[in-house]
Amino acid sequence: MVSMKTKQATAWNQILKMVSNKVDKHTFECFFEGIELDEVTDNQVTLVVPSSLAKQFFSHSVDASNTLKDAISNVYGHDYQNISYLTPDEAKLLRNHSELKKVTSYGEPQTNSHFFSNCKINPNYTFDNFVVGDCNRDAVRASLLIANSPGVAYNPLFIYSKSGLGKTHLLHSIANFYLEKHPKAKVLYITSDAFIDEFVKYVKGSQESQSLKDYFSDVDLLLVDDIQFLSDKTKTAEMFFYIFSQLFNNGHQIVLTSDRHPKDLKGLEERLVSRFYMGLSVNMQSPDTDTLLEILKRKIVSRGLDLKKFDPEGLIFIAEKFSHNVRELEGALNRLLFSLSSNENKYVSLDEVKATFSYLQGIESNDKKNLSEDDVIDEVARYYHLNSEIIKSKNRKAQVALARRIAMYLCRYLLQSSLKTIGKVFSRDHSTVITAVSKVEKELKTNTLMLKAVSDIKKSLKAA
Smaller CB distance to Mg ion: residue 28 or 229? 229
Q: Which of 168, 258, 286, 289 binds Mg ion (CB under 5 A)?
A: 168
Min dist CB 132 to ligand ADP, Å, is 7
The amino acid at residue 124 is N
Of 219, 316, 326, 371, the one binding ligand ADP by CB under 6 A: 326
Minimum separation from the CB atom of position 394 to Mg ion (A): 45
Q: Which listed option, Mg ion, ligand ADP, none, makes contact with residue 330 (CB within 5 to 8 Å by class)?
A: ligand ADP
CA dihedral for 434, 440, 445, 446, sign (positive or negative):
positive
Told to check if 166 binds ligand ADP by CB under 6 A, we report: yes
Would the CA dihedral through 390, 453, 136, 422 be positive or negative?
Answer: negative
366: left (phi over 0), alpha (psi -120 to 50) or beta: beta
Q: Is residue 322 involved in binding ligand ADP (CB under 6 A)? A: no
Among 70, 330, 352, 375, binds ligand ADP (CB under 6 A): 330
3-class SS of residue 147: helix
Q: Which of 260, 297, 327, 335 binds ligand ADP (CB under 6 A)?
A: 327
Q: How far is the CB of 260 from ligand ADP (least distance, A)?
A: 12
DSSP H stretches of helix in 97-162: 137-148
Q: Which of 45, 131, 147, 391 binds ligand ADP (CB under 6 A)?
A: 131
Position 338, amino acid:
F
Q: In what order do the strands lie in the sheet with 157-161?
A: 187-191, 221-225, 253-258, 157-161, 280-284
Q: How far is the CB of 325 from Mg ion (least distance, A)?
A: 11
Single-letter residue type at 438: S
Shortest gap between Cβ of 389 and ligand ADP (angstroms)?
Answer: 40
Per rule CB under 5 A, is residue 236 in the interface with Mg ion?
no
Query: CA of 219: how far to CAs of 142, 215, 330, in Å?
Result: 20, 8, 33
How would DSSP label each residue in 43-97?
S-EEEE-SSHHHHHHHHH-HHHHHHHHHHHHHHHTS----EEEE-HHHHHHHHH-
Minimal distance in Å, beta carbon 295 to ligand ADP? 5
Provide the pairing of β-strand 45-48 with 221-225. unpaired
Kindly state the smallest distance separating residue 165's Cβ from Mg ion, in Å: 9
Interface region with ligand ADP, contact rule CB under 6 A, candidates 163-171, 243-251, 425-433, 452-460: 163-171
Task: Name which of 130, 123, 49 is nearest 85 in CA terms.
Answer: 49
Q: Which residues of 80-114 are buried (b: 16+ CB within 10 A; e: fewer)?
A: beeebbbbbbbbebbeeeeeebeebebbbbbebee
Interface pick for ligand ADP out of 169, 252, 428, 439 (rule CB under 6 A): 169
The contact mask relative to ligand ADP for 236-275 (x = CB under 6 A, - = no) is ----------------------------------------
Q: Which residue type sits at 436?
A: A
What minimum distance in Å lies between the beta carbon of 458 and ligand ADP? 30
For ligand ADP, the closer of residues 292 and 407 by Cβ is 292
Cβ closest to ligand ADP, residue 50 vs residue 164:
164
Residues forming the site for Mg ion (CB under 5 A): 167-168
Residues forming the site for ligand ADP (CB under 6 A): 130-131, 136, 161, 163-169, 295, 326-327, 330
